[in-house]
Structure 1
Amino acid sequence: MFPEKSKRRYLEEREQDLNDLFEVSSRLSSLTNYESIIEQVLLSLMGRLMIQKSAFMLIAGEVELQLIKTKGLDDSLEGMTVKYSDLPESFSPVSDLNDFNPLKEFLIENNIEVLFPLIRKGSILGILGFGKRLLGKKYENEEINYVSSLLSLAASSIENALIVADVKRANKGLDRKNQELQTLFELGKELNSTLDLDVIVKQFGYALMGQLMVTKFLLYLKTDSSFELFHSKGFTQEHIEILSPYVDQITGLSEPLLVRNKKNELQNALRQANIAALIPLTIQGENRGTLCIEERKGNEPFSTDDLQFLHTMGGQAIISIENARLFKESLERQRLQEELNIAREIQQGLLTSDFNIGSEWKVHGKNVASLEVGGDYFDVIKLEDGRVALVIADVSGKGAGASLLMSNVQASLRALINIESDLGLLVRRINEILYENTTADKFVTFFVAVLDPISRKLTYCNAGHNPPLRFSETGEVTTLEEGGLIIGMMPGVEYETETIEIVKGDKIVMYTDGITEAEDKEEVEYGEKRLIDHIKRNLQLSPEELLGSIVDDVNNHAVDLSSQDDVTLLILET
């Protein structure tokens, strides 16, 4: 039992501890930066416990801790990571750690003697290590309890601050992607408004400067059998001559290349010519040009996101460049029809031809334009997380104008599909950009679905498109209608999504209205009922065979399919 005087003092000390905890808690709750919170915790504890050295670490991976803040240690340690095999769940001397734990060696080298875990809801977020106390005083139970209590309060504030930091980083990244998407749309409008090669290259240069602060670049383009320097801005003839022996290597890339301090002949030449990155300009996997760029203003290094954006923007530019070159050639030969046929080939090349999405799945698509080029669009996109996006769309109108708008829709979708996981928000963003950048008579019916081949779940959004037909193995038919208004008509439209499970034997048939609205000589439409009946009779066919049989049946019905609307089909089977 305590003597009365000692008991009173003990209670006073504990009361003071509670007051101190309350005061520190109030200060922590006002902070939103986790580094500031950790700084406050260290200042509060080190003065109280008379400690000169400390290290605050947060878990940065399954077996790694990151050193966030130190006191009395080498400042260069902050930011480094340290591996660990296990962490104490309560106050522990460093000497008690397992000898095979790599964390122990690091702590001993830096004179850290004891550890306190940072715990939130039963999970360890990090650890706080202290060096030797002045006068060599040992930790009393009350002191250990105080530190543990303070860290419990801090854990909640730190966790919240980390969440805030993550959200800020995500928002910053999203703002950047939105800006990049807007740039793509603006550039697309400018490029699609002209067939003058000089104007296209100039607009592309403006986009490089405006978005990435790049003022110097070289553009190599493919001619009939080789690559030639098409445009140079800011580079001297000496730089160009340095690169001359390496043109085949420079233009033979399939992915963007960031020039680093690697000791090989090509990289040495690129550095000597002040080249910071190489961007292949591709159409359907074929390299049609290469963009060579110098460091941006301020010498800020290019990130992986920068290279991906340059690749997308370059892909958009090369399509316009190719269109302009083809048009110029056709004018020179005064054969406009031939140019339109080539444009059709380019457009068909933009439609996916890779239908391999896994051994348990079959997919096939086809587009038949009523004119040389058209406004129908389908795509099969393999996403970075292993899922697959299936897309079909129908742009209002026909011909070159519709095909240009289709190209913008495709570029926008591919730029955003790996960024925005919510299909409803994805479609809403594309709608907003289309509305702001097209006239009132331009709109698109649009259907997008994302398939998880592992879970067999398919999430879709239908923006005013003909509802795709889902056929079970027994011939039962359902339609995929959840979504909203066609895109490009009005701003602020909300879009709903639905998730369904695809079972063995299911077929999903996506089509444009060129199928159901094809008319015979009596102006009778082919219709959805005839389409459903035809598919039911041919459910045993593969997607490719079924697609061919549908087109044949529509052709048999229609007077002249080439004089009517574009026809597009995309069929999925498991």
Structure 2
Amino acid sequence: MTQKPATEIDLLRQQNEQLKSQLMATSVITEITKVMMSTPDLASVFRTMMLGIHDTMEFERIILFKVDPEGFVLRPVTWTGIPDALVKDLAVPLSFIEGGDIADTIFLNRPIFVDPVSAKDDPMGSLSPRSYLTIPIVTKSYTRCHEFHNCTIKECPAYNNPNPYCWTIQGSNQRHSHVSEDERRRLCVLCPLFKCNHVLWMDRPSSETLATSEDITVLSTLASQAGLILDNFQTYEDLKKANKELQRINVEINKINHDLKVAHDKINKDLEQAQEIQLSLLPQNLPKTERFSCAATYVPATKVGGDYYDLFQIGDGIYCMLVADVSGHGMAAALIMSMVKILIKSHTNIHSTRETLSEINRVLNQDIKTDNFVTMFYAILNLRENMLTYSSAGHNPILIIDKATRDSRQIKAEGIFLGVFDDAMVKDNVMPLKENHRMILYTDGLTEAENMSEEMYSLERLESIAKKTVNLSPEDAQTEIIRDFREFTGKAAIADDVTLMILDIN
């Protein structure tokens, strides 16, 4: 057996360390969810988040600030690693000059890395940091500012802007265009639509390195999740005072929170259980009826990956079928895909696949701030009306084969991938469900896999083997296709996750 080069072993070790770090970070999210589900005390939620970052990511000093709109300052809520006497009376101005980078992280809505720190001019200079990192925590915004204020100034950059966080848009608040930048900021924080009410500040005094790019990505994702959880918590408190209709919504919100808790619990495992977590997100038993039979398989490229498939009933004689692929590999892709699964189950629409994908795209763009994107083929099988409604967001062509004639055709993507652009340009497509036809869904890890000669497996090869095995059951056809795939790739490493799903309309 050929020994792996040292560089490959080092790469595997690095990936192991990254997965360990990301798994530890997910435990913070899980703990926040547990506290939120068990106590109405926001202080407990904040404290748990602080201790989680301190213990799992080794930031020695952390302060959670809260915006004081009336005082136009940031005030510390809770902290760790710093004597109380140095923190309790801190008040960081939100003004453009005096507030510095920690105020800018709010009005730019992004993490800011400060290095070096000016002891004289920086509002955090009293703590003598060499460098520090600030992360905004933002909750959801459900209303555009021009709608809320009945503003008709279409020249305002915030008017109909896809960015819902109007305080971050340069030149916004044209209703008060004559005021200074500081006055604009003051008006923003006093507005009910202002949703950045907390900021995390942290440093590592004893370390030469404050944070890696991976640290910032994990912290940004954690901050986004904390914003969602805090938003759900506040919504829950409001719902307790609402009428019967709001109580109905409260039940739905609690269900979503429960699904999030289940997903986070699955991810909160050590490295050896990471693959088990990923596989547990996939359906264990696919439905089978007299009208259709189905088989699916998933082959991860690494311990965990970002492919996902599902087939589940959503109504009488109505089923949802999908295959999705998150860009990249590892825990980050798996985390995003677990959230996509929850969004699918939460937003499934039996009438429109476009609406479901558009809502998932909106949430991914608004709340999941990473470089990953998602491709997806999403369909609704209506066996009562013999119709298939589908949308494809940048996914690979789907094969449909007439089992009698072995004629085949491809359903190609009309939309673009999810999680990058505000409009994924997907649409509803409708076609009749024809008997004795086979559908083959897959991810690009199958068709774009290369052998030792750097030749791709290709869609043409998949189509050829699919026609040869069309008279086999979906399970047996799937086995033959994967056997052919492994025979083709040989000893070449699988570079991407492979998912294959076969559905027969009987």
Band of TM-score, shorter chain: 0.5 to 0.7
Q: CA separation in 2, counterparts of 1:392 and 1:198?
A: 31
Q: CA separation in 1, counterparts of 2:251 and 2:491?
A: 47
Provide structure 1 residue ranges, at least 5 long, that are not aligned to the other structure: 1-189, 211-292, 327-338
User: 1:382 aligns to what?
Assistant: 313
User: 1:315 aligns to what?
Assistant: 259
Q: CA separation in 1, counterparts of 2:492 and 2:366?
A: 34
User: 2:181 aligns to what?
Assistant: none
User: 1:505 aligns to what?
Assistant: 436
TM alignment of 1:162-241, pairs within 5 A? 193-196=25-28, 198-204=31-37
Q: CA separation in 1, counterparts of 2:453 and 2:419?
A: 34
Q: CA separation in 2, counterparts of 1:493 and 1:452?
A: 24
Question: Which AA in structure 2 matches 1:481?
Answer: K
User: 2:482 aligns to what?
Assistant: 551
CA contact (8 A) 1:370 1:561 kept: no
Question: Which AA in structure 2 matches 1:557?
Answer: F
Q: CA separation in 1, counterparts of 2:440 and 2:429?
A: 17
Aligned to 1:443, which of 369, 373, 383?
373
Label 1:401 to 1:518 Cα distance change in 2 as closer, same or farther (>3 A). Answer: same
CA contact (8 A) 1:380 1:391 kept: yes
TM alignment of 1:1-400, pairs within 5 A? 193-196=25-28, 198-204=31-37, 297-298=240-241, 303=247, 306-324=250-268, 326=269, 339-400=270-331
TM superposition shift of 1:311: 2.6
TM superposition shift of 1:365: 1.3
User: 1:539 aligns to what?
Assistant: 470
TM superposition shift of 1:423: 1.4
Aligned to 2:342, which of 399, 407, 411?
411
Q: CA separation in 1, counterparts of 2:503 and 2:327?
A: 25
Label 1:360 to 1:399 Cα distance change in 2 as closer, same or farther (>3 A). Answer: same
Label 1:298 to 1:483 Cα distance change in 2 as closer, same or farther (>3 A). Answer: same
SS at match of 1:382: strand
TM superposition shift of 1:443: 0.4
TM superposition shift of 1:401: 0.7
- For residues 375-412 of structure 1, the C-alpha deviation after alignment (integer angstroms, 9 at most, x for no partner) is 00001121034310101011000111100000111110
Q: CA separation in 2, counterparts of 1:388 and 1:364?
A: 15
CA contact (8 A) 1:510 1:570 kept: yes
User: 2:384 aligns to what?
Assistant: 454
Q: CA separation in 2, counterparts of 1:296 and 1:460?
A: 35
Label 1:303 to 1:192 Cα distance change in 2 as closer, same or farther (>3 A). Answer: farther
SS at match of 2:435: coil
Label 1:362 to 1:192 Cα distance change in 2 as closer, same or farther (>3 A). Answer: farther
Q: CA separation in 2, counterparts of 1:570 and 1:307?
A: 34
TM superposition shift of 1:313: 1.6
CA contact (8 A) 1:518 1:564 kept: yes
Q: CA separation in 1, counterparts of 2:41 and 2:326?
A: 32
The number of residue pairs the alignment matches comes to: 288
Q: Which has the higher helix share?
A: 1
Q: CA separation in 1, counterparts of 2:297 and 2:432?
A: 25
Question: Which AA in structure 2 matches 1:319?
Answer: A
Aligned to 1:424, which of 351, 354, 362?
354
TM superposition shift of 1:303: 4.8
In percent, how many aligned pairs have the same letter? 28
Question: Which AA in structure 2 matches 1:315?
Answer: D
CA contact (8 A) 1:442 1:488 kept: yes
Label 1:198 to 1:538 Cα distance change in 2 as closer, same or farther (>3 A). Answer: closer
Q: CA separation in 2, counterparts of 1:396 and 1:545?
A: 29
1:466 aligns with 2:396: yes
Question: Which AA in structure 2 matches 1:427?
Answer: L
Label 1:296 to 1:457 Cα distance change in 2 as closer, same or farther (>3 A). Answer: closer
Question: Which AA in structure 2 matches 1:441?
Answer: D
User: 2:188 aligns to what?
Assistant: none
TM superposition shift of 1:496: 1.6
**Greater radius of gyration (CA):** 1
Q: CA separation in 2, counterparts of 1:502 and 1:201?
A: 45
Question: Which AA in structure 1 matches 2:256?
Answer: T
SS at match of 1:483: coil
SS at match of 1:195: helix
Provide structure 2 residue ranges, at least 5 long, that are not aligned to the other structure: 1-21, 43-235
Label 1:510 to 1:561 Cα distance change in 2 as closer, same or farther (>3 A). Answer: farther
Q: CA separation in 1, counterparts of 2:455 and 2:384?
A: 43
1:564 aligns with 2:397: no
Q: CA separation in 2, counterparts of 1:318 and 1:493?
A: 29
TM superposition shift of 1:310: 1.9
CA contact (8 A) 2:308 2:324 kept: yes
CA contact (8 A) 2:396 2:413 kept: no
TM superposition shift of 1:469: 0.3
Label 1:370 to 1:493 Cα distance change in 2 as closer, same or farther (>3 A). Answer: closer
Question: Which AA in structure 2 matches 1:490?
Answer: F
SS at match of 2:285: coil
TM superposition shift of 1:359: 1.1
CA contact (8 A) 1:514 1:565 kept: yes
TM superposition shift of 1:306: 3.6
Q: CA separation in 2, counterparts of 1:468 and 1:391?
A: 11
